[in-house]
Every structure is written in C-alpha cells, then in structure tokens.
Structure 1
Amino acid sequence: MTRPEIAFTVNNLRQFLQAPMTAHWAACKRVLRYLQGIPFHGLWFKPASSLHLERFSDTDWASCVDDRHSTTGYCVYPCGYLINWCSKKLQVIARSSTEA
C-alpha cells in the first residue's frame, strides 16, 4: 500500500496472467526495474490531531474496450492519507449505469 504510483499498471498487468504476451512481460520487467531503481520511496505518515475519514467510490459504464465490462472502485482517506483502495472489473455487462 505504500506504492500507489504503480497500482494502475499492476492492475492492468494482472488481467493478462492467464495468457500473457511478449508486451505484457516487457511491461512487467519495466515495473520491476522501476521499483529496483527507487527502493526508498514510499508514503510517509505524520500524526494527526483528529481522525477525519473520507471514502470515495465510483463505477464506470462498460469502458473496457476489450470486453465492454464495467469497472468499480473505492479509496479510503483517513486524515488525508490514502490507506486503502480497490479496483475491480465486474463480471457482468451492465445495461445501465444504475445496474453497474
């Protein structure tokens, strides 16, 4: 959870684990080289005087051009620091944004 800058790339790469191609392996190696080059980067948390919790969620509507499935996600910010997030492709094809 201390490396949100690569979360999107890793999420996209994991979608191709069943049948990876050469381009996916090259992208994976690039992420690993990036992480190897900056081992001491991360998030630093400072103490807060009060606990202020914010949570955001959103769902898109069939935005994946490969299979037209929707993606949903959320993130949690206590005291302004991102500590938890989730992004998930829905298994069904929604016919409306309300259904998604």
Structure 2
Amino acid sequence: RGREAAADLRRAAELSAACEGARTPLLRFSEGAEPLTPREREVASLAAQGLSSNEIAGRLFLSTRTVDNHLQSTYAKLGIRGRRELHLPTDPIVGRS
C-alpha cells in the first residue's frame, strides 16, 4: 500500500503547510518517511530520463540486477508502480535528501 501512503504523505504535507507551523505528534511521525538513498535518487533520475536498466548499469558501473533492485526499492518508497510514474529529481519526492 505504498502508493496510498505516498499520496497520504503528500496530502498531509499540503495540509500542514496550510496550518502555518502547527505541530502535532502525527505530523512529527509523518516526517520520518523513508527517504531515497543517494544511489536510489541517482538511478531513479536516470530512469526518469528514459535510460534503460542496461544503460544505467553501464553508466554507473553496476549490474543490471542491482539497478533493478534500486528501482524496485524506489518504487516501494514512493508508492509507485514503475518507470512511467517516476518524475525528474526536481520532484520533491524523488529529490528529497
């Protein structure tokens, strides 16, 4: 249910921003969402640009399987199903540190 969780997290962030700095235990909990690792962000960025897993693997000196594992982890964290739903790193979800 990662996709639903990611959508809920985005909606919570929007509502929190509208509340001008309100702090509640639930809002503090939502800040702990698992961010992407630097490598996951790098792989996701290249995939969002249209590179295949083989091309990403060659560019980053990784195996294709490792690239696919990073993508699967990224999809789970972002609550998406695949490459078509990835956005470039300017997206606040993918670009998160």
Same fold (TM over 0.5): no
TM-score, scaled to structure 2: 0.31
Q: Which of structures 1 and 2 has the larger relative contact order (alpha carbons within 8 angstroms, sep 6+)?
A: 2
Q: Computing the radius of gyration over CA atoms, which structure comes out larger, 1 or 2?
A: 1
**Structure with more strand by fraction:** 1
TM-score, scaled to structure 1: 0.30
